[in-house]
Structure 1
């Protein structure tokens, strides 16, 4: 999984837990103290929404199998944040709920905390599944590296064979045609390799520019 996403996720989970505690504390306050606490919670909600947007951008830049798991987690985070927003709206309209505050604390908040615990349990399960997916990705990357090493070894063997064919061209005049065809094949392979290198270099440059633009707009 992306280290950037994990960092944003930790920040969000800490902020979400803090907002839940502040909502519970605000429900027990009155007057100006309650207004100040609600204002603090609203500021925290804005920060949480910003973290969710950053996680969404990071998730969409990853591989499809990882992106699907991360987007599922984000839907749960958004649902959890919507619950906090609903609670803030309820607390903000305190004049309409002063007479029912005790019932809210005893029943409504209990239901909210229960739902929050259920969501946290689902998030833990999703995180565990994501960790398993990350392990599989690491194994796939290891296999890719081994394949790359095998490809380099094959290319070295081909280079040695080319040298042998060139030497045979100078000593065996009777097989000039066969050696010429082998040389043309190897030259064609070399051109394709060079062309592929340029293509890969171009793709890498485009990705670097795209990442730089994303970082620029994020920092901006």
Structure 2
């Protein structure tokens, strides 16, 4: 618990890439303990979010959109983790993951363009990637300050991007911003998982959270 709290503090002030690709039993136990503590953390965030929903009559999310189990539980965690947290580690493949998934998020999901448009955009982005990878030294890791900036930018962007799931009106704007801030806090935990254990673990945890939310909101 002490290590968990110290890591959460570090993700806010001094994020570091901890990943060890050799998964020992001790590391696997650590992953499950962080997932368990993360679920408690998200349960608390969910409790306060529901409290705000009820006190200020903020409509529940996803009521204004028709979202399938596949999109919400299976696709969204992968696309969102690649869009917002792949880039936290500097490498060619993570940069490609970021630009391809983020472009899909914008053109395929938010703007709902035909997939043909997305493929055209992806082709342009791939050409851009070919150009950029020659200009950027991917072997040189991010500085601590760069990682800190990327964590904060990705977390706030991730949190406030969820505003599209709500019917927005002026009378609920302030409580809605508070709810979105809870999502920002959740994003910091996902960033912690990504930096400490890797993308697969943050995607797995995201699966669990989205599955829980899908079940709750579709009762």
Larger Rg: 1
TM-score range, shorter chain: under 0.3
- The structure carrying a bigger helix percent of its residues is 1
- With normalisation by structure 1, the TM-score equals 0.27
